[in-house]
Structure 1
Amino acid sequence: MARWSVLSPHEHEGVPLTRAAAEAGVSTRTAERWLSAYRRHGLAGLAPTPRSDRDRRRIRPELVTVIEALYLKRPAPSVATVHRKVQEIAAGKGWTAPGYTTVRSIVRALGDPLVTLAQQGTKAYQQAYDLLYRRESQRSNGIWQADHTELDILVIDPEGKPARPWLSVILDDHSRAVPGYALNLCDPSALNTALALHQAIWTKTDPAWHVCGIPEVLYVDHGSDFTSRHLEQVCADLHIQLIHSTAGKPRGRGKIERLFRSVNQLFLPGLPGHLVHGVQTSVPKLTLGELDGLLHAFIVGDYNQRRHSETGEPPQQRWDAGGFLPQLPERIEDLDLLLLTVPAPRVVHRDGIRFQNLRYLDVNLAAFVGEPVLIRYDPRDLGQIRVFHNGTFLCTAICQDIADATISLKDLRTARDRHRRQLREEITARHRLVDELLAVHQAATPAPRPARKLKRYRND
């Protein structure tokens, strides 16, 4: 320190102050001031003191306001643009123009929240700086979230053309486990939501995937598929509380957005047809069904089993914790209300129900030939359809051409004979009733008098 070198050790060695100041490279007046401060306050007196005008800009307050106002315009101007305009304004007013460095320091002191609101608008500000109310469920199946995303991959559609699929996902808020999803080539719709929710609620055929049940709350945004009256009715029937996020502010739903990032970043890279920033990196080869199979394996075997960085537990393990029993509908037919695609009412023909150029048959249809029915189906599995008659579930009809199950000719003949026998019994019962009524009527009617014999003449 130059100040200390002036005073020590010269002060104790009888060295003149002028010589010590000359050796330190300072003026004698400065050395005297330092010596006086040292004698009064010790070493603390030699510490540098801040300038009284530190952090004060030597610029007119009006120009500071002008600089801030110019920079807080949309579209965002550069600092150089603001500097040039300020120089013009200062010259017109006869003021001293600030330098570029001063303008830049004033701009940087504005703060990111103010700049974001002014230059990018309210939405950007809310996304970055608004305080969020984050919903948190304390138990599995307490809150489920539902949303859609367009995947960064191309698949081959039924016509052989590349297409970008949509993923609809149901996510358990507490565990982060995925109970259901749906892949489609069409834009998000009520059908996609219904299929994903149907799969999420009902038990799975895969024993490794046992996330299921009816949630207490379904948390969705304001998409048209989530605001349909049908979905509201379904939630009311299943006693699910339907909650929509604030319109135009789908924030607080980062958990499901994080799942979408995991799918796009961990699952899709390396697959044929993967898109990187919208650019195709390889030739698409997968069909939608093949991608569905791979995604099923990723969700069940990887995502649901991997330790989650926020909860510290694998989603499947966290969902299982507590040993609770999920609430389920009594029958899977009760969930068919969620299948929003309902074709025009069909008629049961002698060869079954015709739908999508396929023929569906079940032995229970033998009693309804010629009757109008309503069918519901899963577009991902056209091997079977569910048949309703007058609002009541009738049977599950299968297409033997694509389904694993078959109906034997013996079963069909048995059903036909049984129905024919029932019809004959009804006919016989009606005939018997008529005969009984006629017999009672005849017994109640008096017998007619015998006709008088016609008198004849003697000569006849």
Structure 2
Amino acid sequence: MSVYITTSEAAYYEGISERGIRKRIEKGLYQSRVDVDGAVKRHLVLLDSLSEKARQEYFREQLAQKQLKEPVVSVATDEQDVLGKLVRKYGERGKELLEEVVFRESIAKMVISIRASKEKGKTARINELAKSIGLSPATIRRWADRYIEYGQDGLIHNKVLESLFTPKSYRSFHPLAQDYLRVVYLDPSKPTVEQAYEALLKIAKEKGWKVGSYHTAWRIIQDIPEEDLIYFREGRKAWEQLCMPRALREDPEYLNEVFEIDHTQMNFFINVGGKPVRPWLTYVVEVKSRCVVGWCISLQANAETIGLALRHAILPKPDSPIYGLPKYVIVDNGKDFRSRRIAGKNPKFGEELHAPHLLGLFGRLEIMPRHCRAYNGAGKGRVERSFRTTTEQFYRDYIGWCGANPKERPENLNEKKLCEEGKLVDFYQCVEDFKAFVDAYNREARDMFGGKSSLDVYMESKRWKEEVPSERLFDMWLLPGEARKVHNIGVRFQNRVYENVQALSGHVREEISILYDPNDLSQIYAYTMDGDYIGTLPLKEYRAYITEDEETFKHVAKQKARRTDVKKRMDEMVDRLKEEGVTKPRKMMASGDNGSKTKVVMMHRDERVAKDLEAARKANPVTKAKSLHDEYVQRRSEEALKKMKLS
């Protein structure tokens, strides 16, 4: 298909004036035609009649315009972004190579369109196209074939393509010398290129390796992937933070479905008893809304502070709409979160798996914990992000701020002097200030929620579970537990005896679970192994060895009451049987063959065993073997009798 352009365009590509183009048309140097549009007539010049330089300039400009309209797309190869890699590797030179690819693509499309047309003279037209751009017909046919098979990537020059995917070879360096240079440079001690090169020279002299110049060594090190540099020189933690692949997780469907809990030491000092101390903060963050639902400030983070922070998050609060049990909690692998008090303990042989004293706080609340991989802050990113925000917005405004590490510590900070001068706040003031900060933090507008605050999202979302335990029950579940056996005097625990006659009735000589407060051992709480609450057992008082009659009467009354409870349980069972028409069976009696009663003789076990042994001896008499002494006495006796007879 012939292409015609205007005289002004032809003048632009030829680099002469438009009048010069008209003169050449009059002389017959350019082929042209007249285009009539109403009363307007204009000359159009055949593109193929222009000079080779003008034709190439035309095609380059057309391809540049197509490049703006049609973005470069990569094809399905092992390298998903070959053209992008071309630009990244070669910079400005890469952009020129990319323009060359786009130019070849336009020519390949023209060849493909000519092949697909039904007009005659396809070969002649392809030859004309090749002649117009100064290339051979075989070249543009090859471009079309490679474009059909490989797309744009097939139009990259072979040498350029090889340079993208073929590792660089440094002929002046032995391959093992290159490896040794890289290994030395990637050492965690972070040697310089010069130090690594000097170490290579020493070992190369011993091994006979070929080693090039220092500048070549520098280029070898420059080719080390940045990911490798970070992992081996900066460490695994830096690599995990900057290079390790991350997963994207959807927010939970329901409110309170997932909590994240963690500790951190606050980056400022407070006055505690006249001494500067850095307090600890335990945070509970609701994942869906990013609300801080619970927290606890303490002087030492431990299992108790975890329980208190969770208590603050779950139980209703008079000045806040935040409450509710979580379904999951995400925690780290710290010993506090795996302690018996929080996670529970393994049962001993014969113990019930779900006995109350074996269950930790998570088990009693029916919360499923999920432990993150060790030293992986991204596993609980919501609470870690809250820690960072707290550092930026709360810690830095406090007198006594010391920073998270020695680099951030103010140069003129003297916490002891500030404490002596009374400038550091006390513990209770710190708690009040932090309470106001958390309230403002939850009400702060967030872009991720479209200008809504975390509290707004919390109020609009549906909880996964509305029920919460009572405050008294929750406080009991915070206590540690043990397994103990009920004796006739009560329950022994830590050299003390606890008893509640009515509550323990029916549980004597049974094993139960107890919960106790280490700070108040005046009473313990008893549960069955199935988790049913028995009652509170107060500390049993010791009676004087010689007591008054009144105290004795009271004790005897308790004994009678216990005996009455035992009989009452039997009577209740018999009454239930009578209601169903079942009578209590009589005493079991043995009868003879004639139906007469047989006398039953009761013997003690030892008597029965002795009688059985005597019967066995009579049935199988055993001759006792004589000893040597008996044989000697018998022989001498017989000899003496013989002498007496002879005499």
Question: 5 Å matches for 1:18-417?
Answer: 40-41=134-135, 57-62=170-175, 63-88=177-202, 93=208, 95=210, 97-100=212-215, 102-133=216-247, 136-157=251-272, 159-186=273-300, 188-206=301-319, 209-232=320-343, 233=359, 234-276=361-403, 277-278=405-406, 279=409, 281=413, 283=418, 284-300=423-439, 302-312=440-450, 313-324=452-463, 327-340=466-479, 390-391=525-526
Give per-residue Cα distances to partners, 1:39-87, cap 9 Å, x unaligned.
Answer: 9449x9xxxx998897664533523323212212232211121233334
| Deviation of the 1:267 alpha carbon | 0.9
Give per-residue Cα distances to partners, 1:100-136, cap 9 Å, x unaligned.
Answer: 3x32232122112222333345454334433344654
Give per-residue Cα distances to partners, 1:19-42, cap 9 Å, x unaligned.
Answer: xxxxxxxxxxxxxxxxxx999449
Contact 1:203 1:211 (8 Å CA) reproduced: yes
Going from structure 1 to structure 2, the CA distance change for 1:41 and 1:56 (only over 3 Å counts) comes to farther
Contact 1:374 1:388 (8 Å CA) reproduced: no
Contact 1:181 1:197 (8 Å CA) reproduced: yes
Contact 2:283 2:295 (8 Å CA) reproduced: yes
Q: Which amino acid aligns with 2:278?
A: R
| Deviation of the 1:88 alpha carbon | 4.5
Which runs of no fewer than 5 residues in structure 2 stay unpaired?
1-13, 17-130, 140-156, 344-358, 482-513, 527-533, 537-552, 558-647
Aligned partner of residue 251 in structure 1, secondary structure: helix
Taking only aligned residues, the RMSD between alpha carbons, in angstroms, comes to 4.1
Going from structure 1 to structure 2, the CA distance change for 1:330 and 1:64 (only over 3 Å counts) comes to closer
TM-score by length of 1: 0.60
| Deviation of the 1:227 alpha carbon | 0.8
**What CA distance in whole angstroms lies between the structure 2 residues aligned with 1:225 and 1:122?**
25
Contact 1:231 1:338 (8 Å CA) reproduced: no
**What CA distance in whole angstroms lies between the structure 2 residues aligned with 1:331 and 1:257?**
30
Partner of 1:415: none
Q: Which amino acid aligns with 2:310?
A: L
Contact 1:218 1:242 (8 Å CA) reproduced: yes
Aligned partner of residue 222 in structure 1, secondary structure: coil
Q: Which amino acid aligns with 1:275?
A: C
% identical equivalent positions: 21
Partner of 1:398: none
Going from structure 1 to structure 2, the CA distance change for 1:309 and 1:224 (only over 3 Å counts) comes to farther
**What CA distance in whole angstroms lies between the structure 2 residues aligned with 1:148 and 1:336?**
21
Going from structure 1 to structure 2, the CA distance change for 1:375 and 1:39 (only over 3 Å counts) comes to closer
Contact 2:314 2:324 (8 Å CA) reproduced: yes
Give per-residue Cα distances to partners, 1:289-334, cap 9 Å, x unaligned.
Answer: 111111110111x210112354444211111223548524242111
**What CA distance in whole angstroms lies between the structure 1 residues aligned with 2:517 and 2:392?**
36
Aligned partner of residue 153 in structure 1, secondary structure: coil
Q: Which amino acid aligns with 1:304?
A: N
Contact 1:183 1:292 (8 Å CA) reproduced: yes
Contact 1:91 1:97 (8 Å CA) reproduced: no
Going from structure 1 to structure 2, the CA distance change for 1:221 and 1:77 (only over 3 Å counts) comes to same
Q: Which amino acid aligns with 2:291?
A: A
Aligned partner of residue 398 in structure 2, secondary structure: coil
Going from structure 1 to structure 2, the CA distance change for 1:324 and 1:247 (only over 3 Å counts) comes to closer
| Deviation of the 1:242 alpha carbon | 1.4
Greater relative CO (CA pairs within 8 A, separation 6+): 1
| Deviation of the 1:90 alpha carbon | 5.5
**What CA distance in whole angstroms lies between the structure 2 residues aligned with 1:390 and 1:265?**
45
Aligned partner of residue 253 in structure 1, secondary structure: helix
Contact 1:133 1:252 (8 Å CA) reproduced: no
Give per-residue Cα distances to partners, 1:210-260, cap 9 Å, x unaligned.
Answer: 221000101111111111222232222222111111244443212211111
**What CA distance in whole angstroms lies between the structure 1 residues aligned with 2:458 and 2:369?**
21
Contact 1:202 1:328 (8 Å CA) reproduced: no
Give per-residue Cα distances to partners, 1:120-160, cap 9 Å, x unaligned.
Answer: 45454334433344654232101001000001110000x21
Equivalences, count = 322
Larger mean Cα displacement after TM superposition, 331-340 or 144-153: 331-340
Contact 1:154 1:162 (8 Å CA) reproduced: yes
**Structure of higher CA gyration radius:** 2
Q: Which amino acid aligns with 1:327?
A: E
Going from structure 1 to structure 2, the CA distance change for 1:76 and 1:51 (only over 3 Å counts) comes to same
Contact 2:516 2:525 (8 Å CA) reproduced: no
**What CA distance in whole angstroms lies between the structure 1 residues aligned with 2:466 and 2:222?**
56
Going from structure 1 to structure 2, the CA distance change for 1:229 and 1:69 (only over 3 Å counts) comes to same
**What CA distance in whole angstroms lies between the structure 1 residues aligned with 2:429 and 2:284?**
21
Q: Which amino acid aligns with 2:271?
A: I
**What CA distance in whole angstroms lies between the structure 1 residues aligned with 2:460 and 2:211?**
71
**What CA distance in whole angstroms lies between the structure 2 residues aligned with 1:196 and 1:176?**
16
**What CA distance in whole angstroms lies between the structure 2 residues aligned with 1:84 and 1:390?**
74
Aligned partner of residue 292 in structure 2, secondary structure: coil
Contact 1:155 1:164 (8 Å CA) reproduced: yes
**What CA distance in whole angstroms lies between the structure 1 residues aligned with 2:132 and 2:394?**
71
Contact 1:144 1:219 (8 Å CA) reproduced: yes
TM-score by length of 2: 0.44
**What CA distance in whole angstroms lies between the structure 2 residues aligned with 1:332 and 1:110?**
61
